[in-house]
A and B are shown apart, each in its own frame.
Chain A
Amino acid sequence: MKAAVVVFPASNCDRDAATALEYVTGRKTTMLWHRDSEVPRDIDLIVLPGGFSYGDYLRCGAMAAQSPIMKTVVERAKAGTPVAGICNGFQILAECGLLPGGFLRNAGLKFVNKPTPIKVETSQSIFTNKYEAGEIVHFQVANGEGNYFADDETVKMLEGEGRIAFRYQANPNGSTADIAGIFNETKSVLGIMPHPERNVEPIHGNTDGRRFFESLVSAVK
Chain B
Amino acid sequence: MTATAPEITPEIVAEHGLSPDEYAKILQLLNRTPNLTELGVFSVMWSEHCSYKSTRVWLKTLPTTGPQVIHGPGENAGVIDIGDGDACIFKMESHNHPSFIEPYQGAATGVGGIMRDVFTMGARPVAMLNALRFGEPSHPKTKHLVSGVVAGIGGYGNCMGVPTVAGEVNFDPSYNGNILVNAMCVGLARTDKIFLSAASGIGNPVVYVGSKTGRDGIHGATMASAEFDDDSEEKRPTVQVGDPFVEKLLLEACLELMASDAIVAIQDMGAAGLTSSSAEMASKGDAGLELDLDHVPQREENMTAYEMLLSESQERMLMILKPGREAEAKAIFDKWGLDFAIIGRVTDTRHLVVKHKGQVMADLPVSALADENAPRYERPWLPTPKKPELAPAACPAPESYNETLLKMLGSADLASRRWIWEQYDSTVMNDTAQGPGGDAAVVRVHGSNKALAVTADCTPRYCLADPVEGGKQAVAETWRNVTAVGGTPLAYTDNMNFGNPQKPEIMGQFVGAVQGLKEAGLALGYPVVSGNCSLYNETNGQGIMPTPAIGGVGLLKDITRRASIPLKRWGDQIILIGETKGWLGQSIYARDVHGLKDHAPPPVDLTAEKRNGDFIRTRIEDGILDTVHDLSDGGLIVALAEMIMSSNPDDDIGSQIDLPEGVEPHAFLFGEDQARYLVALPEEASKKLLADARAAGVPAIRLGVAGGRHYRIGDLVWLDIPEMRAASEGFFPNLMAAPLN
Contacts and interface: CB of A to CB of B under 8 A. Distances in A.
Interface string B331-344: 00000110000000
A54 interface: yes
B29 interface: no
A52 B427 contact: no
Nearest to A11: B161
Given A9-B249, A203-B432, 15 more contacts: A9-B245, A9-B248, A12-B159, A16-B430, A50-B428, A52-B159, A54-B245, A111-B154, A113-B423, A114-B422, A140-B427, A198-B427, A198-B430, A203-B444, A204-B427
B-side interface size class: 20 to 34
A28 to B, nearest CB: 14
Given A9-B337, A52-B244, A55-B159, A113 B426 contact: yes
A15 B424 CA distance: 19
A10 B158 contact: no
Contacts of A197: 430
Contact of B429 (A10, A16, A54, A114): A16
Nearest to A54: B245
Contact of A13 (B161, B248, B337, B424): B161
A204 B427 CA distance: 8
Interface residues of A, number: 31
B430 A19 contact: yes
A162 to B, nearest CB: 30
B62 interface: no
A189 B173 CA distance: 55
A1 to B, nearest CB: 20
Contact of A10 (B151, B249, B431, B433): B249
Nearest to A35: B335
Contacts of B245: 9-10, 52, 54-57
24 contacts: A9-B248, A9-B249, A10-B244, A10-B245, A10-B249, A12-B160, A13-B428, A15-B429, A16-B429, A52-B158, A52-B161, A52-B245, A52-B248, A54-B245, A56-B245, A57-B245, A111-B151, A111-B158, A113-B426, A142-B425, A144-B158, A198-B428, A198-B430, A203-B433
Given A10-B245, A10-B249, A55-B159, A113 B433 contact: no
B248 A16 contact: no
The 3 closest A-B pairs by CB, nearest first: A12-B161, A55-B245, A203-B433
Contacts of B429: 15-16
A201 interface: yes
A85 interface: no
Contacts of B154: 110-111
| Max chain B Cβ within 10 angstroms of own Cβ: one of A57, A111, A112, A144 | A111
Interface string B150-194: 010011001111000000000000000000000000000000000
B336 A112 contact: no
B161 A112 contact: no
Interface string A21-63: 0000000000000000000000000000011101111000000
Interface of B: 151, 154-155, 158-161, 243-246, 248-249, 336-337, 422-433, 444, 559-560
A137 interface: no
A200 interface: yes
A13 B249 CA distance: 14
A9 B430 contact: no
B351 to A, nearest CB: 39
A64 to B, nearest CB: 12
Interface in A138-158: 140, 142, 144
B430 A55 contact: no
Contact of A55 (B244, B336, B426, B431): B244
Contact of B428 (A19, A112, A142): A142
A112 B423 contact: yes
A113 B427 contact: yes
Contacts of A6: none
A20 interface: yes
Nearest to B147: A110
Given A51-B161, A52-B244, A203-B433, A9 B424 contact: no
B245 to A, nearest CB: 3
Contact of B243 (A55, A195, A204): A55
Given A56-B159, A111-B158, A16 B425 contact: no
Nearest to B426: A113
Nearest to B418: A114
Contacts of B249: 9-10
Nearest to B248: A10
Contacts of B430: 15-16, 19-20, 197-198, 200-201, 204
Contacts of B158: 52, 111, 113, 142, 144
A195 B427 CA distance: 10
A10 B159 contact: yes
Interface in A200-215: 200-204
A144 B422 CA distance: 11
Nearest to B424: A113
Given A10-B159, A57-B245, A203 B427 contact: no
A12 B249 CA distance: 11
B155 to A, nearest CB: 8
Nearest to B433: A203
Nearest to B430: A16
A16 B245 CA distance: 19
